[in-house]
Amino acid sequence: MPDGLVSDQSTLPDQSTLKDAASLRRAGLIDDVDAIAAVGEVYAIAIPPALRALIVDPNGPIGRQFVPHADELVTAAWERPDPIGDEALSPVKGIVRRYPDRALLKPLLACPVYCRFCFRREQVGPDGGLLSLSDLRAAVDWLAARPEIREVILTGGEPLMLSARRLGELLGMLGEIPHLEMIRLHTRMPVAAPERVEAGIVAALAGSRVPLWVVAHVNHADEISQDAIAAFDRLRLAGVPLLSQSVLLRGVNDSVEALDGLFRALLRARVKPYYLHQLDAAPGTARFHVPIAEGRALLRALRGRISGTALPTYVLDIPGGAGKVPLGPENLDGNAGVIDPWGGVHRLAGPDRAG
Residuewise pLDDT in 10s, the chain (355 residues): 444 454 444 444 456 999 999 999 999 999 999 999 999 999 999 999 999 999 999 999 999 999 999 999 999 999 999 999 999 999 999 999 999 999 999 999 999 999 999 999 999 998 878 898 899 999 999 999 999 999 999 999 999 999 999 999 999 999 999 999 999 999 999 999 999 999 999 999 999 999 999 999 999 999 999 999 999 999 999 999 999 999 999 999 999 999 999 999 999 999 999 999 999 999 999 999 999 999 999 999 998 899 999 999 999 999 888 899 999 766 677 666 887 867 788 888 778 775 5
How many Å apart are CA 285 and CA 43, to the nearest integer? 12
How many Å apart are CA 37 and CA 186, to the nearest integer? 29
Active site residue 99: yes
Predicted local confidence at residue 1, as pLDDT: 41
Annotated active-site residue in 115, 166, 274, 352: 115
Q: What is the dihedral of CA 104, 237, 112, 153, to 10 degrees?
A: 0
Annotated active-site residue in 52, 64, 98, 121: 98
Domains of the chain: 3-15+82-352 (3.20.20.70)
Annotated active-site residue in 120, 166, 184, 234: 120
Which residues, at least 6 apart from 331, have a Cβ–Cβ distance to it below 8 Å? 325, 338, 339
Annotated active-site residue in 97, 106, 118, 196: 118
Annotated active-site residue in 80, 280, 314, 352: 280
Predicted local confidence at residue 67, as pLDDT: 98
Annotated active-site residue in 52, 102, 116, 121: 102
Burial of residue 86 (CB within 10 Å: 0-12, 13-18, 19+) is middle
Are 315 and 276 in contact, with CB atoms under 8 Å apart? yes
Strands 102-105 and 95-99: antiparallel
Active site residue 303: no
Active site residue 314: no
Annotated active-site residue in 146, 150, 264, 324: 324
Active site residue 82: no
